[in-house]
Structure 1
Amino acid sequence: MSEGVEWALHSCLNLSWVESGQAVRTATLAAFYELPSAYLNKQLQALARAGILSSTSGPRGGFRLARSPEAITLLDVVTAIEGPEEAFRCDQILRQGPGGDAETDYRQTCLISQGMRRADLAWRRELAAQTLADIKSAVERQFPAAPQNTRNRLAALRA
């Protein structure tokens, strides 16, 4: 999984603490964690294409959450950044092995492929079961000052 997923998740969490309707520029979000702005912008654009963020151009432009944190799952963010493909790609190398058959679809019969697909499905189910609101709530319980600290730092970076 690329580092863009981590960046996207943290950016979404930070945006969840911004006053409703207020957009935050890419440069401000990037400066928050000292990330390269151009690369973070690619992640934010992917989130916007997926309907997770909305973007506004102009002097007061930037990104904001397009949906409530309750309506954004971790899987939504991962899929927006990484794409919908399974993590394991069966290249059907058994076709070239001893007794291999060019006509057999080894993605269906290979026990390794089946095991990896089950694991991928379990991973996706777990990500789909967790929302940004769940993470936000857990952070706020463990670090009660995080929302205000985030708003303060974003405001300082905008100045």
Structure 2
Amino acid sequence: MQYSVGVEYALHCLVYLIDVPSNESIGIKDLAEFQGLSETFLSKVFGKLSKAGIVSSVPGVKGGYRLSKSPEDISFWDVVKAVEGSKPIFQCKNIKDNGYLYRENCCTAPSSCTINLVMLSAEEKMRDFLRSKTLAWLNEELDRDLSKQVREDTRNYFSKSNI
């Protein structure tokens, strides 16, 4: 199981949008440059975030993106679902139906696969955990984990790029 790097970039960039005043936005070019990645790649990620209602785009020369919701209302799962989709990680192929006993019609297959039920249950527990972590929580954690200088420098980088 692996989420794409797009989820990681999305979460990082969304944290940068937390402090943006409601009448301003941050351009995709600035976000991409700060992360050291392709504008095209990040544009695709932000297109998905926009479609999911997590961010809204602001057109124009000074345009860019801003959060569409409060950081308390954006969970890690919301971001994962927007970037990756909500398709189950475990893809049951019903291989039990190809087993010897089922091929020979000696046995009837049970109505549901126990393995699939366990895997889906585990995925739901993971989704519940990701739903419990929000951008607001992440922002508070970063305030504790990173130096005050790094946090200030990051905020200053984006406030200067919009001037």
What are the superposed Cα offsets for residues 105-138 of structure 1, whole Å, 9 maximum, x if unpaired? 77x6322212211110110000011111011111
1:91 CA drift (Å): 1.2
What are the superposed Cα offsets for residues 27-64 of structure 1, whole Å, 9 maximum, x if unpaired? 11000110111011011011011110000111011000
Aligned positions, number = 157
Name the residue aligned to 2:155: 151
- Residue 25 (1) aligns with residue 24 (2): no
Task: Determine which of 142, 145, 162 is the counterpart of 1:142.
Answer: 145
TM-score (norm 2): 0.87
CA distance in 2 between counterparts of 1:156 and 1:98 reads: 68
Name the residue aligned to 2:93: 91
Tell which structure's C-alpha radius of gyration is larger. 2
Return the letter of the residue paired with 2:119. Answer: M
Task: Determine which of 49, 53, 56 is the counterpart of 2:55.
Answer: 53
1:155 CA drift (Å): 4.2
CA distance in 1 between counterparts of 2:23 and 2:162 reads: 16
1:154 CA drift (Å): 2.4
CA distance in 2 between counterparts of 1:156 and 1:142 reads: 24
Alignment of 1:53-132 (within 5 A): 53-100=55-102, 109-132=112-135
Which stretch of structure 1 is more off in the superposition, 17-26 or 114-123?
17-26
Return the letter of the residue paired with 2:56. Answer: S
Aligned partners of 2:62 and 2:162 also within 8 Å? no
CA distance in 1 between counterparts of 2:109 and 2:85 reads: 24
CA distance in 2 between counterparts of 1:17 and 1:100 reads: 60
CA distance in 1 between counterparts of 2:39 and 2:109 reads: 44
Aligned partners of 2:57 and 2:63 also within 8 Å? yes
Percent identity for Structure 1 against Structure 2: 35
Give the SS at the match of 1:17: coil
What are the superposed Cα offsets for residues 61-91 of structure 1, whole Å, 9 maximum, x if unpaired? 1000011100101110000001111111111
Q: Return 5+ residue gaps in structure 1 as ranges.
A: none
CA distance in 2 between counterparts of 1:73 and 1:145 reads: 26
1:157 CA drift (Å): 5.1
